[in-house]
Amino acid sequence: MLLNILFTVFSVFGLKSDHVNPFAFSDDSTVFTRYKKLLVNVREKKITPFEAELEFKSIMIVLKEAYPNTLDSSQSSNLVFPLTKSNYTAVGGSGTGFYVKEFNLFDHTVSGSHPAHDIFIFDPDQDCIDNRKQEYVDIVSVGNGVVLAVEKDWTDTSEYRGGNYVWVFDFERGGLWYYAHHRKVVVEPGQIVRPGNKLGEVGRTGFNAKNKRSDTHLHLMYLEVDSLYYPQPKNYYNWLKEANTVSKSTLAETLRNKWVNVTFLSPKPPKKLPVKDFKLSINSVKLRK
C-alpha cells in the first residue's frame, strides 16, 4: 500500500525524472485519457476499488492544482439550467429523486442509490423529441469547466448504465458534473465549456434508460471533491431552482484537430514539492477508510 501511495505522489508532483505534462494530448498519461480508462476499468472490474480510488485521487490532485477553486461550494452563481427552454419544474419528483443509500464510484457492484436528479422532457412516443417543443432538446454545461471524459459509442447491446455521457470538471466549484443518457455528444475531452455551451442532446441511451418503462430524461449528478480528494455526492436541487434558463445553446470552443490546438485556460503546471514536504504529500492522498 505504501509503495502505491509513494508512486502516486512521485507521479503527480513531478518527482519522477520522466514526469510528463498532464495536458499533453500526445501522451497516454494525460488526465483525460487516464480518467476515461479509470471509468472503463471500474465498470469492467479490471481494477480493485482501492486501486481505482488511488488513481482518482491522483487525477484530482493534478486538476485542482491546474484549476484552483474560485467559488465557494455553497454558492450557485453563473449556473444555467442543463436543458434549453426548461427550468427546475422539469426535475423528477420535485427534487425528491435524490437519495444516497450506498454509493461508491470505485466499486461497480455497489448499487441502490440515486445520488442525482433526473430531468425530463415531454416525450410520450419515446423518439427523443420533446412533443411540446417539436425538437430535440440540448443539454448544456451548467457552469465553467473542462470536459474530462465522454462516451459516444453506446449501442443497444451495451450493458452499462450511463449510456452516452459527459464528465465535466467544474473550475469554480472544484467538483465533477456527470451528464448521462445522451442521444448524442458533441464535445471532446479537453474542451473548455462555458455556461450554456452545448454538450449533447437528451436521449435514451443506457441499460435502464432505453427501456419502455423509462421516460426520456437527463441524469445529472454532481460530486464534490473533498480535502482528501474523495468524491462526495451533493444534492444540488437548490442550485437548479436558482439557475438561469437559456433558450438556445451556444457552441463550445471548436477543436480544429482532435488532439491539438485545444484552447485551455492556461492551466498551471503541477508544482514540484521539495523533499521536506514529502510526508505531507503522502498524507494528502491517504485513502478513506
Condensed to tens digits (0 to 9), the pLDDT of residues 214-227 reads: 999 999 999 999 99
The two counts, helices (H) then strands (E), for the chain are: 5, 11
Listed residue (286, 259, 288) closest to 58, CA to CA: 286
Distance CA 62, CA 195 (A): 23
Strand partners, 193: 145
Strand partners, 83: 139
Q: pTM value?
A: 0.82
Q: DSSP strand E in the chain: where? A: 117-120, 129-130, 135-136, 138-140, 145-151, 164-170, 176-185, 192-193, 198-202, 217-225, 231-233
Listed residue (191, 195, 200) closest to 146, CA to CA: 191
Distance CA 86, CA 82 (A): 8
Distance CA 146, CA 166 (A): 10
Listed residue (127, 145, 130) closest to 83, CA to CA: 130
3-state secondary structure of 59: helix
Contact 162, 36 (CB under 8 A): no
pLDDT at 160: 78
Listed residue (1, 29, 14) closest to 268, CA to CA: 14
Q: What are the φ and ψ backbone dihedral angles of 28, each rounded to 5 degrees?
A: -70, -5
Contact 133, 160 (CB under 8 A): no
Strand partners, 114: 99
pLDDT at 258: 39
SS3 content of the chain, % helix, strand, coil (to 5): 25, 20, 55
Which DSSP category does 32 fall into?
H
pLDDT tens track, the chain, 289 positions: 444 444 444 444 433 323 334 444 334 569 999 999 999 999 999 999 999 999 999 999 999 998 887 665 555 567 999 999 999 999 999 999 999 988 999 998 998 899 999 999 999 999 999 999 999 999 999 999 999 999 999 988 887 788 999 999 999 999 999 999 999 999 999 999 999 999 999 999 998 899 999 999 999 999 999 999 999 999 999 999 999 999 999 999 866 433 333 333 334 444 544 444 434 343 444 455 4
Listed residue (60, 54, 79) closest to 3, CA to CA: 54
pLDDT at 156: 85
pLDDT at 48: 97
Q: Which residue has the cell 415531454?
A: 122
pLDDT at 117: 98
